[in-house]
Amino acid sequence: MANASVPTIVEATGENGQPRTRSYTITAADIAKGYVLTLSDPRTAAKVSDTNTLAGYAFAGIALAETTSASGVTRIAAAVGDCVIEGTCSGSVTIGRLVKSVGGNYFAEALSTDIYSGAIAGRALETGSADERINIALGEIV
């Protein structure tokens, strides 16, 4: 399940040096550690589509473990804050701007309407161009 755009946690700033996490129900699917997860009702997470779409996805976090459909696992932990990830840009991203998940494990600069859609993943800590990997403060909105 290797993918060059998969985000990696580069710094955990939470209690005991761990990221803030949430646990979600998952449907039978293969999810690799580090994949971006999207949220659906009721509190269910799935990996985002491999298709990059600027529409964005409701952000559920970054998968902290690998699961396979054959494993029978029905829950997954996801990093949602208190950490810095290295993520891949979809288009140009400006330092300090909010970023959203756009599929294919990519992140794009968010629009004001994305705040209401739940697509915000965090704040860019660096400026980057298309396909460049930058640091993103996960869960930082204000």
Q: What is the DSSP letter of 117?
A: H
Residue 35 counted as domain residue: yes
Model confidence at 16, pLDDT cuts 50, 70, 90, reads: confident
Model confidence at 1, pLDDT cuts 50, 70, 90, reads: very low
Q: Token pair of 56, please?
A: 């964005």
- Phi and psi at 116, nearest 5°, equal -80, -20
Residue 91 counted as domain residue: yes
Q: What is the mean pLDDT of residues 7-31?
A: 86
What percentage of residues in the chain have a pLDDT greater than 70?
A: 94
Q: What is the mean pLDDT of residues 1-10?
A: 74
Amino acid 11 reads: E
Distance CA 107, CA 33 (A): 17
| Structural domain boundaries enclosing 79 | 8-138
List, for residues 59-118, the tens digit of each pLDDT value.
Answer: 999 999 998 888 888 899 999 999 999 999 999 999 999 999 998 889 999 998 888 888
Number of domains in the chain: 1
Residue 1 counted as domain residue: no
Distance CA 76, CA 13 (A): 21
> Under DSSP, is residue 101 helix (H, G, I), strand (E, B) or coil?
strand
Residue 2 counted as domain residue: no
CA-closest candidate to residue 136, choices 81, 55, 59: 81
Residue 131 counted as domain residue: yes
> Under DSSP, is residue 40 helix (H, G, I), strand (E, B) or coil?
strand
Determine the pLDDT at residue 130. 95
